[in-house]
Amino acid sequence: MIEKDWWKRSVVYQIYPKSFLDSNRDGIGDINGIIRKLDYIQKLGADVLWLCPVYQSPQVDNGYDISDYTQIAEQYGTMHDMENLIQECKVRGIKLIMDLVVNHTSDQHPWFVESRKSKNNAYRDFYVWRDEPNELTSNFGGSAWAYDASTGQYYLHFYSKQQPDLNWENPKVRAAVYHMMNFWIEKGISGFRMDVIDLIGKEPDRGIKENGPKLHDYLKEMNRQTFGAKHLLTVGETWGATPEIGHLYSDEAREELSMVFQFEPMNLDKQPGKHRWDLKKLDLTDLKDVMTKWQQSFASSGWNSLFWNNHDLPRIVSRWGNDGPYRERSAKMLATLLHGMKGTPYIYQGEEIGMTHAKFASIDDYPDIETQNMYRARIAAGYSEQEIMHSIQMKARDNARTPMQWDERENGGFSSVRPWMKVNPNYHTINVFNNLADPNSVFYHYQKLIALRKEKAIFTEGTYELLDRDHPNVYAYKRVMGDQELLVVCNFYEQSAVFQYDMGQVRDIRVLLSNYPNSPIQLERFELRPYEAVIYEIK
């Protein structure tokens, strides 16, 4: 029998299919490419795979604009390939979760094609139509309203014009979505990652975009009508969640979702009140405070996700680590810091080998619609080219979307023809092949972290306690379960740093994992080397 909360003990691997592996030489990753690499994911030890959208789509936003939820995009393969993938995962004990993008569809979806035909079309109210736009804005820039000449009204789109927002107040929309979800559940998937789910309760006439008043009623209804009794992993993407809001989604008694992605830590290196393109240096104390707040808020009910990366975020080693001489050490430090915490860890493709930003010089090498829109808007607003490109090299979503680096062959082994997006030229050194050949690689560090989590319940269940909050360079915390303890000590920077720990109560101490040889076990005065990170087991 499957346990109700199996996902608390799982580690998820996220795949962005377009950039994973091209099996049929068209320069685009595909489902058969994923099947070829399932043994690799199994070797890493992840037991859940989150697949970004592979549904039929005009690909204006790389599949987050869906024109048919029950068909596979031709560029990715066929429904037969998809069923094969589900099956091949199953034989390896890997659960597959799919992206659920139901705040909006593509403008090519038959519902929208109908909806825009006339004001009295049966599908008119599947979307949000108004006579006049209001002040709401699109997350991709500009107004959230697009004028449609055929009926003389405006429709709502919180993303691109080609992604009209569904009207969740319409019970027929909700029924259609639940029906589609059940279609996929019956195919044998194990859960959903829910795209911008905090927007479905929108009340545009009152200017409400996120966290609308009916949001949680809809999720309860969805839970009852689809996955509720099935013990699936459900994770909501919620950019605006506070811990209080996180509990509304994930507290067991509320019967909504398993957990959410909480983005508060991801906003710590932008200027307050401004967009993430407006950069600010991370303050380690801010990171400690925010991570600790989330860890402690979910100590006894609800659940946390743990992630540094996804397909929308900069790569962590280039962001808060060191993508120069300390790339491997800092990648392992960041992995240790996160995977020692309580929650379900998510690893984004390439993170496990320490992939970095490519820092391309030209805007033409950043095809993402969000980046392209921002570039044009900021050029028009008088920003310098240099300043804009710097923000892009640090924060653009495409930093995470360069093709996966498998080996030293042309295009990093991703494809034998020219890929849809340029490969990071550092694939000659940073690649899976080299990682697998080196027992000290970033890959094996992740493998060990996953194995430890599977082996020791304290990783899942232990409480969390921050140590030495005001230490400017070291992030250290404890996990406690009964008479067992873990101590995690991480030097966040390139300078060596001293950490002091009272050994008075310690009977027995040993190193479970370190990113250096010979980390000390006498910690009265522990001088950490650059980016040194150690997990101790203490009794």
Question: What does the binding site for ligand TEU look like in residue numbers (CB under 6 A)?
Answer: 61, 64, 101, 139, 159, 195-196, 237, 239, 311-312, 370, 397
CA atoms of 152 and 154, how far apart (whole Å): 7
316 contact partners, CB below 8 Å, separation of at least 6: 308, 309, 331, 334, 351
Catalytic: which of 61, 107, 195, 198?
195
The CB-of-55 to ligand TEU minimum distance in angstroms stands at 12
Residue whose CB is less far from Ca ion, 24 or 118: 24
CB-based contact 365:422 (threshold 8 Å): yes
218 binds, among Ca ion, ligand TEU, none (CB under 5 to 8 A by kind): none
Measured on CA atoms in the order 445, 311, 400, 334, is the torsion positive or negative?
negative
Residue whose CB is less far from Ca ion, 17 or 354: 17
Residue whose CB is less far from ligand TEU, 350 or 413: 350
Mark out the alpha helices in 116-197 (DSSP H runs).
Answer: 171-186
The CB-of-163 to Ca ion minimum distance in angstroms stands at 24
Residue whose CB is less far from Ca ion, 28 or 450: 28
Buried b (16+ CB within 10 A) or exposed e, 3-40: eeebbbebbbbbbbbbbbbbbeeebbbbbbbbbebbeb
CA atoms of 85 and 138, how far apart (whole Å): 35
Residue whose CB is less far from ligand TEU, 267 or 384: 267
30 binds, among Ca ion, ligand TEU, none (CB under 5 to 8 A by kind): Ca ion
Q: Is 237 a catalytic residue?
A: yes
The CB-of-195 to ligand TEU minimum distance in angstroms stands at 5
Per-state percent for the chain, helix, strand, coil, to nearest 5: 35, 20, 45
CB-based contact 467:478 (threshold 8 Å): yes
The CB-of-16 to ligand TEU minimum distance in angstroms stands at 9
Tokens of 365: 């090498």
239 binds, among Ca ion, ligand TEU, none (CB under 5 to 8 A by kind): ligand TEU
The CB-of-22 to Ca ion minimum distance in angstroms stands at 4
28 binds, among ligand TEU, Ca ion, none (CB under 5 to 8 A by kind): Ca ion
368 binds, among Ca ion, ligand TEU, none (CB under 5 to 8 A by kind): none
| Angle formed by the axes of helices 385-395 and 369-380, nearest 10° | 160
Catalytic: which of 47, 165, 237, 328?
237
Residue whose CB is less far from ligand TEU, 13 or 475: 13
Residue whose CB is less far from ligand TEU, 348 or 444: 348
Question: From the centroid of its chain, how far is CA 118?
Answer: 39
357 contact partners, CB below 8 Å, separation of at least 6: 314, 315, 318, 323, 393, 394, 399, 424
The CB-of-159 to ligand TEU minimum distance in angstroms stands at 4
Beta strand pairing status for 474-481 and 463-467?
antiparallel
Q: Is 368 a catalytic residue?
A: no
397 binds, among Ca ion, ligand TEU, none (CB under 5 to 8 A by kind): ligand TEU
CA atoms within 13 A on the CB side of 316: 27
What DSSP designation does 524 have? T
Residue whose CB is less far from ligand TEU, 266 or 449: 266
Strands (E), 204-332: 233-238, 259-262, 305-306
The CB-of-239 to ligand TEU minimum distance in angstroms stands at 6
- C-beta nearest to Ca ion: residue: 30
Residue whose CB is less far from ligand TEU, 369 or 538: 369
278 contact partners, CB below 8 Å, separation of at least 6: 270, 271, 391
The CB-of-63 to ligand TEU minimum distance in angstroms stands at 9
195 binds, among Ca ion, ligand TEU, none (CB under 5 to 8 A by kind): ligand TEU
Coil, helix or strand for 145? strand
128 binds, among Ca ion, ligand TEU, none (CB under 5 to 8 A by kind): none
414 contact partners, CB below 8 Å, separation of at least 6: 19, 20, 21, 22, 29, 403, 404, 405, 406, 423
433 binds, among ligand TEU, Ca ion, none (CB under 5 to 8 A by kind): none
The CB-of-21 to Ca ion minimum distance in angstroms stands at 8
205 contact partners, CB below 8 Å, separation of at least 6: 130, 134
DSSP string, 385-454: HHHHHHHHHHH-GGGGTSPP--SSSGGGGS-SS--SSPPPGGGGTSSHHHHHH-TTSHHHHHHHHHHHHH
Residues that bind Ca ion (CB under 5 A): 22, 24, 26, 28, 30
- Return the closest-CA partner of residue 298 out of 407, 123, 185, 461: 461
CA atoms of 61 and 139, how far apart (whole Å): 13
Beta strand pairing status for 233-238 and 191-194?
parallel
Task: Report the catalytic residues.
Answer: 195, 237
